[in-house]
Amino acid sequence: MARAGAWVTMLDCDPNGSLTLWGERAKLPDRMHLRNRITESEIVKAIKQHDEDGSVVIVDLEGVASRLVSRAISQADLVITPMRATTLDATIGIRALQLIAEEEEALGREIRHAVVFTMTRAIRSKQHTGIDQSLREQGVDIIDPSLMERASYSALFEFGGDLTTMPPQGNMTAAQENASAFASAVFNRLLNRQAAA
């Protein structure tokens, strides 16, 4: 999204600090800003501070219900739940979707949300196909394309930077194309939400 011209602010609110670790490895890509150690009392203000026209705010949250997670979800234009196409991840992912439903009920408004399958392979397993079909039948928005299993994605946390600045890892062109298509799918959902408003 930053390479397409958007200003991107990332708020690392996951206790594991994955975004912070990534950001410490190399200079952040142009048009990107990273903040960490955001508390539950600061999260709404931090989101609003960076949420301007032409900008995208990405909040990385832990995968469990908490007051901070609830407050961040309440401000979201789109909540993306990443999950691997396994029964365990689907079970945990359903809990995240239930939390969004609870926030919708409390706020009295719809919160746009979607699932993205991660670490997928070119040939889908029966388990992946079954989970995908089940979620779609329940009305869950599934982002296509999924994020493929790529050496370059995991290497981002070793080298920092982005898919164009880090040392080549695996099939970089395929990873760049997958990431670009995913970013476009997310951006289109955000545009559609703004058009509906």
Q: What is the CATH number of the domain that holds 41?
A: 3.40.50.300
- Does residue 1 fall inside a structural domain? no
**Does residue 41 lie in a domain region?**
yes
CA–CA gap between residue 19 and residue 157 (Å, rounded): 8
* pLDDT of the residue at 193: 63
User: How many Å apart are CA 130 and CA 156, to the nearest integer?
Assistant: 30
In a domain, 71, yes or no: yes
Instruction: Tell me the one-letter amino acid at 192.
Output: N
Q: What's the whole-model pTM score? A: 0.92
Tell me whether residue 170 is in a domain. yes
Digit-coded pLDDT (tens) for 51-78: 988 899 999 998 887 899 999 999 999 9
In the chain, which residues have pLDDT < 70? 193-197
In a domain, 143, yes or no: yes
Alpha carbon distance 29, 14 (integer Å): 21
Give the total number of structural domains in the chain.
1
Evaluate whether residue 91 is within a structural domain.
yes
CB atoms within 10 A of CB 69: 23
Q: Which domain holds residue 64?
A: 7-196
How far is it, in rounded angstroms, from Cα 57 to Cα 59? 6
Residue 186 lies in a domain: yes
Quick one: CA dihedral 157, 161, 162, 166, positive or negative? negative
Q: Is residue 2, in this structure, part of any structural domain at all?
A: no
What is the per-residue pLDDT for 178?
Answer: 97
Beta carbons of 43 and 68 less than 8 angstroms apart: yes
